[in-house]
Structure 1
Amino acid sequence: MNLFNYSRRKSSEVEIGDKPLGKENPIRIQSMTNTSTQDVDQSVSQVKRIVDAGADYVRLTTQGLKEVESLKKISAELKAMGYSTPLVADVHFNPKVADVAATIVEKVRINPGNYVDPARTFKSLSYTDQEYETELDRIRKRLTDFINICKENRTAIRIGVNHGSLSDRIMSHYGDTPAGMVESCMEFLRICKAENFDNVVISIKASNTVVMVQTVRLLVRELERENMSFPLHLGVTEAGEGEDGRIKSALGIGTLLADGYGDTIRVSLSEAPEREIAVAQKLVDHILTRQNHSLIKAEVATEFNYFEPSRRKTHEVKNIGGHLVPVVISDRLDGSFVTDKNFIPDYLFVGDKLPKVRESSAYILDALHWQGDKNSYPAFTTSQIKLLIETEVDLKFLFISLPELTEDIISMLKKQPEVVLIGNSSHQNRLGEQRALAHKLTEQGITNPLIWHETYKEDDLENIQIKSAADLGPLILDGFCDGIFLQNQGVLTHAQIDSTAFSVLQAGRVRTSKTEFISCPGCGRTLFNLESTIAKVKAATKHLKGLKIGIMGCIVNGPGEMADSDYGYVGAARGKVSLYKKKECIEKNIPEEHAVERLIQLIKDNGDYVEDTEE
């Protein structure tokens, strides 16, 4: 892996029907149905829509043997219609179901957290070394039987670890940590390797983008140590829908794709599954524009830890840098100074159009034509260093790229602590050059804050959400971000760009500006209408800034994935909902029609509710 020069990780090839995965094959796109697998007609129709949208694989939930029988019918009907796209059975809690499913579909996903280990109960367990080894023997014997069935039927296995469904055994031994997630996966991979079974794909997911990225990086390191090259399936679980779902997915998946990881991806949206495909394809296409770029010569900063990044050390300049949250700069070159009261940028970039009357509480960033207004600050380019030095003000901005970071500029920065850098790039691999800039500043001991300037030409909001999240994600998660400045040439409004910027920072978990909703994409296990439920919960709670609310269709990942949520709304049975405070179930089996009202009451009872003043 090279931080500065893009290339894909070399992985082994896995046979999945007529769509092999890994090695030199394209990055595959996939989704999952949200119909009941027992409803053959509805499932067939939805699979067709997903495939027609461009999916390479389609996964279906497979709770029991009835669903396996339905899978057989679904597969037969699809093949009769000319659809040969590989199907994947998603199995939890029941190894016998996985055994039978492996004789029918092209791939079976099993979850190490509940394949042999029982479903998690958040209980702390204690094992002696011998007892722990006995548990591993149990897994080894059961998994070996399954592997033999897969060998006979040329069926691939996905070992799919989810942060939300680690077993109590792993949790008790390793804690709720990336290391525990990696070990949960490696236990199963070592058995596969011992049995000479290589037709394996790995996924290791979380709803927290920081945990998700860190865990995959640690996993790849462990795979290399143990001489394994299995292909990787990437995804952010419970990403949500709309803007949040797209940005959160693009930031997490995009960061790992940028590192060269990932042979197949799924963008999990709480929407119709066929809508996931275009988002995933846009993300992959954007990353692949970096292929075959000119070489970027750079070195990793000595103090940088790729596996556990910490924020780059900077000094504070007014409200920028240090331990302060990253700022948002927004373009107002058209002379419009109105801002959305929910997403007010910290600075407005206005060029020489200083407003006489301002309708925003943001500071003014006045490029090139600074007029000395007490609430405005000058911005310079590297061709104006003399003017920058001579201008006496407590905050200055300097637009800079890697080629412009000369010895003279480095010397100047060490003497000008009031300068905030705005890093940009016109390189084909813009991210690689920006990373190189950040590492060079770090290695040189420069502690001036660093804001990232990203420019686009987009008329489609989804495009800029995906691209900006993918471009900024690695810089945010690696700790090199004191602010972002999104600039777009197109028809999108200032409010749309500002909302995107704040949402990118929130997805990177460095600045919270709104309620965070952690919602699953839905599947055949979902026990209520997910989209309408999310809409109801959002309508009632979206003004509660700073709260995290989980909305889960069932208990497979529910309590675990929303463990860091403040409140949870989880499907308990058909038409029934359970409410959680953190990991604790507070009320069980509430009729769905009363569940949102009871959720609000629970939030009020805990003192976290405020009235919506906009109503």
Structure 2
Amino acid sequence: MSSYCASRFATQRRLSREVQVGSVGVGGDNPIRIQSMTTTLTQDVDATVKQSIALAESGCEIVRVTAPNKKAAQALKDIRANFTAAGFGHIPLVADIHFLPNAAMEAIEHVEKVRVNPGNYADNKKFAVLEYTDAEYEAELQRLYDSFSPLVKRAKELGRALRIGTNHGSLSDRIMNRYGDTPLGMVESALEFLRIAQSHGYYDMILSMKASNPKVMIEAYRLLVRHMDKEGMNYPLHLGVTEAGDGEDGRIKSAIGIGSLLMDGLGDTIRVSLTEDPVYEIPVAQALAQKIMEQWRPSRSDLGRESPKPDSVDPFHFQRRQISKIQLGKFAKLGSEEPPTVITPVPHPISEYVTIAAEAKTSRPALGDSKLEGILVKADSIDDLEKLTELCEAINGAAEFVVVELNPKLPLDEVSLALPPQQHHLAALRDFGDDDYNDYKQFVHLCAQFKIRPIIGLSPTADDGILSEPTDDTIITLHSSIAPSAPNHRIGYYRQLADRLKHWKNKSPLWIRNPKPARSKTAVSSPFLDKLLHASILTGSLLCDGIGDMVSIESDDDLVRSTRLAYNVLQGAGSRITKTEFVACPSCGRTLFDLQTTTQRIRGKTGHLKGVKIAIMGCIVNGPGEMADADFGYVGGAPAKINLYVGKTCVKYNIPQAEADDRLIDLIKEHGKWVDPKPVTT
């Protein structure tokens, strides 16, 4: 058994206690529940009810409403009454509480669940540099006990649920100074509140560990489960990547963080946080939930066989797999210190090399810094191979290198007769079965003879003889065809393959291939969203485990779309930065400006700044913390006033919003990170 999940190879759901949120059960045997949050001013009861109805009609099963103060919490009474009168009494409402216990005590009277942020609730968050003695630390815990206990007791009396929702961006001074800005600090922040609640015999709680960085978020949830297991706790988990942003990037980040955990069997309710109208969050969350629930396997005891041996990855600390250095093209290279390389499949046969080269060359302006590195072509016949010379000459620098995928049915002796004389930057890929060791040896020898880079596609149960060979110049990938009915999922097979390579001290780079996903007849997502989620979950999960040196998205026939999606997934996983990184929170009733239009406007002005990270926050609740690894921050400080940050430090206060964009650009220039955008060519 893994230290945080039943299996890292197949999706076996973690068994949690069931918590009733109004009429909706969370955890236990219930399906994954879909949540979202209103963005209206809470005191505007009519607007909040209207948006709650729109969410419910879109499929949202639990609706959250911010209650930043007691007056907003009092408005929840009418919101609940009007929402029920409109026919939605079965949809639970959740009050979102950050700082004020009196607001929480008011809210618990009106709604089915209250979310408490343990880093803010009756706690200090001034980022002061302090050292706590053990006695001072215990005194702080006693103060928390006194502040939180009344809410726990009232929730127990009324049969309400609580969510202890830790945010990476809002850890208290006490936690920061004892544990640092770490996943462990996030976990301990939640455990403090759990222990207080349990001391009162209260157990109707749900936990969350949100961060804008998927790696941090994934590690925090894994660590939370391990610590809960140690203390005999089995509370349900609410999953989400906070401040994920908007558009394709926001969906990718959310799918990486949420999807990775769901594939490991963790998670009972989810929210996809987008800087968009919250109604647009629902179809993404529904598609994620459906995709994972279709993967669920029965518990291990029902399978009648032993669990596979856990892999050797440390799931609580990111470390990239160590690999050999390999030069692929003039600039493209693989290595433990190099970002993963992108391979783009082309839909045309090799005989159409003129078309392939033309598309590769015309893709350059559309891709920008997401350049075309490797292209993947298929050789299904000897005639195809005989056109390789023309293809390589036609490409002429439009791509760094060419990978030719050999049909396994082609006899290798015939392949040897058809291969062209030495071509620079050419690699050959061939799949091998369990009993193909001799063919493998012949293939490697053939590649050496023609000075072609060998790429080996292996089945999950590949011969140890292949894995144990010294392969400093070989790249490994998973066999392209794995049946959907296979006992493990594709993520698990890559994990097992990486572990077997480690066992044999084989440092061959690993290529993550994203094949076209099998589309369910009951699919609720669009074809493109399905491809995006599939690529984000598979590739993102592995990258966040430190596995993966080449990436290809092979589900789209459009060269630009598939290349861009691969780069965006790499950026979402924090593995390769090719454009500006935006950390943008979803709007809510605390927001002091229009987040959607502001984010789009700032993106339009700064989206060309490769490697710069900009945080756009509607208020200060999580802003300074989530900006810990951002270069610059744009934060609502007061109505129509913006505060500008460098990292966690506020350097400009109360700037009129009309001036804030230009002042942000001035700040970027002052710190030497501004470049003028390239002129648009037509």
Q: Pick the TM interval, shorter chain.
A: over 0.9
Report how far residue 297 of structure 1 moved: 6.7
Q: Which amino acid aligns with 1:410?
A: L
Which residue number corresponds to residue 451 of structure 1?
A: 511
**Which of 116, 119, 122 pairs up with 1:113?**
119
Any residues of structure 2 matched to 1:338-377 within 5 Å, and which?
A: 338=361, 339=363, 340-351=367-378, 352=384, 354=388, 355=391, 356-358=393-395, 360-368=398-406, 370-371=419-420, 372-377=422-427
**Which of 519, 527, 530 pairs up with 2:595?**
530
Report how far residue 394 of structure 1 moved: 5.8
Verify the 8 A CA contact 1:231 1:262 in the aligned structure 2. yes
Which residue number corresponds to residue 410 of structure 1?
A: 467
Which residue number corresponds to residue 545 of structure 1?
A: 610
Unaligned runs of 5+ in 2: 328-332, 349-355, 379-383, 407-414, 520-525
Which residue number corresponds to residue 97 of structure 1?
A: 103
In the alignment, is residue 300 of structure 1 matched against residue 310 of structure 2?
yes
Which residue number corresponds to residue 337 of structure 1?
A: 360
Looking at structure 2, the residues matched to 43 and 587 of structure 1 have their Cα atoms a distance apart, in angstroms, of 33
In the alignment, is residue 150 of structure 1 matched against residue 158 of structure 2?
no
Any residues of structure 2 matched to 1:510-521 within 5 Å, and which?
A: 510-521=575-586
Stretch of structure 1 that moved more, 210-219 or 363-372: 363-372
Unaligned runs of 5+ in 1: none
Residue 25 of structure 2 aligns to a residue in which SS? coil
Any residues of structure 2 matched to 1:377-456 within 5 Å, and which?
A: 377-382=427-432, 384-385=439-440, 386-392=442-448, 393=451, 395-403=453-461, 405-411=462-468, 414-424=469-479, 426-428=482-484, 429-456=489-516
Report how far residue 8 of structure 1 moved: 0.7
Which residue number corresponds to residue 264 of structure 1?
A: 269
Looking at structure 2, the residues matched to 261 and 144 of structure 1 have their Cα atoms a distance apart, in angstroms, of 29
Report how far residue 433 of structure 1 moved: 2.1
Q: Which amino acid aligns with 2:446?
A: E
Verify the 8 A CA contact 1:6 1:432 in the aligned structure 2. no
**Which of 170, 173, 176 pairs up with 2:178?**
173
TM-score (norm 1): 0.96
Which residue number corresponds to residue 487 of structure 1?
A: 554
Task: Tell me the alpha carbon deviations over residues 407-466 of structure 1, each in whole angstroms, 9 at most, x when there is no partner.
Answer: 33224xx23321101224514322222222222222222211111111115773222111
**Which of 76, 84, 87 pairs up with 1:71?**
76
Report how far residue 296 of structure 1 moved: 9.6
Q: Which amino acid aligns with 1:337?
A: A
Stretch of structure 1 that moved more, 430-439 or 87-96: 430-439
Which residue number corresponds to residue 620 of structure 2?
A: 555
Please say which structure displays the higher CA radius of gyration. 2
Residue 67 of structure 1 aligns to a residue in which SS? helix
Any residues of structure 2 matched to 1:193-342 within 5 Å, and which?
A: 193-292=198-297, 298-302=308-312, 304-318=313-327, 319-334=333-348, 335=356, 336-338=359-361, 339=363, 340-342=367-369
> 4+ residue runs of structure 1 moved beyond 4 angstroms?
293-297
Looking at structure 2, the residues matched to 87 and 341 of structure 1 have their Cα atoms a distance apart, in angstroms, of 45
Residue 82 of structure 1 aligns to a residue in which SS? helix
Report how far residue 342 of structure 1 moved: 2.9
Residue 198 of structure 1 aligns to a residue in which SS? coil
Verify the 8 A CA contact 2:211 2:626 in the aligned structure 1. yes
Report the RMSD for the aligned CA atoms in angstroms: 1.8
Report how far residue 272 of structure 1 moved: 0.4
Residue 515 of structure 2 aligns to a residue in which SS? strand
CA distance 1:297–1:113, shift in 2 (3 Å): closer
Looking at structure 2, the residues matched to 173 and 408 of structure 1 have their Cα atoms a distance apart, in angstroms, of 49
Looking at structure 1, the residues matched to 256 and 149 of structure 2 have their Cα atoms a distance apart, in angstroms, of 37
Report how far residue 345 of structure 1 moved: 3.3
TM-score (norm 2): 0.86
Looking at structure 1, the residues matched to 580 and 72 of structure 2 have their Cα atoms a distance apart, in angstroms, of 37
Which residue number corresponds to residue 132 of structure 1?
A: 137
Which residue number corresponds to residue 654 of structure 2?
A: 589
Which residue number corresponds to residue 62 of structure 1?
A: 67
Task: Tell me the alpha carbon deviations over residues 248-272 of structure 1, each in whole angstroms, 9 at most, x when there is no partner.
Answer: 0000111111111101011100000
How many aligned residue pairs are there? Answer: 608
Stretch of structure 1 that moved more, 428-437 or 63-72: 428-437
Verify the 8 A CA contact 2:360 2:372 in the aligned structure 1. no
Looking at structure 2, the residues matched to 253 and 291 of structure 1 have their Cα atoms a distance apart, in angstroms, of 15
Name the % identity: 41
Stretch of structure 1 that moved more, 423-432 or 557-566: 423-432
Residue 325 of structure 1 aligns to a residue in which SS? coil
CA distance 1:100–1:312, shift in 2 (3 Å): same
Residue 19 of structure 2 aligns to a residue in which SS? coil
